[in-house]
Amino acid sequence: MLKIDLNCDVGESYYDTIIGNDREIIPLISSCNIACGFHGGDPLTIHNAIELALKSDVAVGAHPSFPDLENFGRTYMAMSSEALEACLLYQIGALQSMVRAQGGKLQHVKPHGALYNAAVTDFELALSIAKTIQKIDSSLFLLGMAHSEMEKAAAHVGIRFAAEAFADRSYTAAGSLVSRSSANAVLKDLRMVAARTNRMIVSKEIEAENGTVLKVDSASICVHGDTENAIDLIREIRSECEKNNIQIQSFGNV
């Protein structure tokens, strides 16, 4: 039987600014990436997301970002390696402590937004992320884009890497994500996304926006929690997996 992890970014609401629907999404996935306060996620939102994930037997990951609440972590920020390490230590350490306080264990770290996108192509930035994760806990996975500089950095440092692909985002022919400024960047059609996800899992292929077929071997599929119809997308993907005898299971347990 084929197995795949289904992950989603959650815990991103910030006080009165509501992002996504953690209560409905978390029980439907197998791994979650919880915001750490620097792009979203106030303390109570983070606490509640952890609590629901542990109750739902969903693996918990930290979702750190550049310190960019104003732009939801989607603006690139040039930082020294020392400043970035401190920023990551603060966020991941806080999330890890909150998970432990509820009797759980942090499984992985997945960078958010502009930090993630930059680390896809910038080896030195990816290396700073990987080294910081190793300092915190060498058993943690780095969850990142398949065939990216993050994968190389994790191997260089000697930490575990889980490759992911995106169900609800368009890809360029070069294998990167289409900029969110483009009209077709976020995919919302239920049947198309479900069929696309099935192809990712079974054939290890993704079709880019220009029709180019990209090869990708991913351990996890991501749906963004702030995508407008994220809950419906996740349900459709789960239905497609069930129909094709694909088991949804955290990559840490595969």
Give the chain's domains with CATH numbers. 2-253 (3.20.20.370)
**Can you tell me the distance from the alpha carbon of 90 to that of 75, in angstroms, rounded to the nearest whole number?**
20
Residue 95: Cβ within 10 Å count? 27
Nearest to 179 by CA among 43, 27, 105, 76: 76
Q: Which of 2, 1, 3, 7 is nearest to 165 (CA)?
A: 7
- Give the C-alpha separation, 127 to 85, whole Å: 11
Per-residue tens of pLDDT for the chain, all 254 residues: 899 999 999 999 999 999 999 999 999 999 999 999 999 999 999 999 999 999 999 999 999 999 999 999 999 999 999 999 999 999 999 999 999 999 999 999 999 999 999 999 999 999 999 999 999 999 999 999 999 999 999 999 999 999 999 999 999 998 889 988 888 899 999 999 999 999 999 999 999 999 999 999 999 999 998 888 999 999 999 999 999 999 999 999 85
CB neighbour burial string for 165-194, b if at least 16 within 10 angstroms, e if fewer: bbbbbbbeeebebbeeeeeeebbeebeebb
Q: Which pLDDT score, from 0 to 100, does residue 253 have?
A: 82
Quote the pLDDT of residue 176.
87
The Cα–Cα gap between 134 and 150 comes to 13
pLDDT at 254: 59
What is the pLDDT, as a whole number, of residue 226?
87
Position 142 scores a pLDDT of 98
From CA 187, how far away is CA 190, in angstroms rounded? 9
pTM (predicted TM-score): 0.95
What is the per-residue pLDDT for 219?
96
